[in-house]
Copies of this chain bind each other. A is one copy, B any other.
Amino acid sequence: MTSGEAIRGHGGRRHPGRGRPAGGRRAGDSGTREAIGEAARAQFADFGYHGATIRGIAAAAGVDPALVHHYYGTKEALFAAAMRIPVVPSEVLTAALAGPAADGQDFGAHLVRTALTLWESDGIKETLLGLIRSAMTSDQAAVMLREFVSDSILSTVARVTGLDRQKSKAEAQYRTTMVATQMLGLALTRLVLGLPAVTEASIDELAATVGPSVDRYLRGNIDLPAELA
């Protein structure tokens, strides 16, 4: 059973028939899926990734919340679909990183390789750049992207590396955020600025150079801020 199926059944049982306005759309209506996607884009933009809810999105689209789960699965999957990200980031990261994290060897290099490969695959690069571009021009979009990165990406890295069990929540967040500072800079210099040294190197070469920095942030003996030390 996929996580989508799990949530779908769960959502259906939990809110049987609730939240569907009179005369609202029903399962199978053409355009329902699209209407939910439109409502999701608007609600995520207005309320951020934390603030937007499946129930609120359902209400805005005029459908039952169970239908949102039916079409899209989790909130993260709905966000990804609404933002036209062709994968669910936490699922891809978990699948790609669980093995290397378990054996602890060259995890940082593997993370760099996974991220760069993903970013340069069809449809992802444009979406990633679009999200960053929006964040640079709109405070609301920045909030949305910040919350999504924290909830979906950083918490997945904390989970697959075991940081979420071995360290305090604040330290796990600090360490994974330091990884984000390195990885997003790699995206910016490779995909946007096109600095020659970073575009001419292969993904494996960059992974070999940058990987140890990622490992140091995740597991190394780093200086932590006073509140965390």
A189 and chain B: residue at smallest CB distance: B181
Asked whether, in the complex, the Cβ of B195 is within 8 Å of the Cβ of A189, the reply is no
Closest to A222 in B: B209
Q: How many copies does the complex hold?
A: 2
Q: At the interface, yes or no: A34 with Cβ under 8 Å from chain B?
A: no
Size range of the chain A interface in the assembly: 35 or more
CB <8 Å contact, A185 and B195? no
| Chain B nearest CB, measured from A170 CB (Å) | 8
With beta carbons under 8 angstroms apart, the residue of B142, B178, B213, B225 that contacts A194 is: B142
B-contact 0/1 string along A130-159, CB 8 Å cutoff: 001101110000110110011000000000
Q: Does A197 touch B at the CB level, under 8 Å?
A: yes
Using Cβ atoms and an 8 Å threshold, which residues of chain B touch A180? 185, 189, 195, 198
A residues 204-229 near B (Cβ < 8 Å) are 205, 208-210, 212-213, 216-217, 222-226
- A137 to B198 Cα, complex, angstroms: 20
Interface of A is mostly: helix
Q: Does A93 contact B (CB under 8 A)?
A: no
| Smallest CB separation, A195 vs chain B (Å) | 5
Are A189 and B193 in touch, CB under 8 angstroms?
no
Q: Are B136 and A182 in contact (CB under 8 A)?
A: no
Does residue A201 face the partner (Cβ distance < 8 Å to B)?
Answer: yes
- Taking the complex as formed, is A174 at the interface, i.e. its CB lies under 8 A from any CB of chain B? yes
Chain A residues engaging chain B, CB cutoff 8 angstroms: 129, 132-133, 135-137, 142-143, 145-146, 149-150, 170, 173-174, 176-178, 180-190, 192-198, 200-202, 205, 208-210, 212-213, 216-217, 222-226
Which 3 residue pairs spanning A and B have beta carbons closest together?
A185-B185, A177-B197, A208-B223
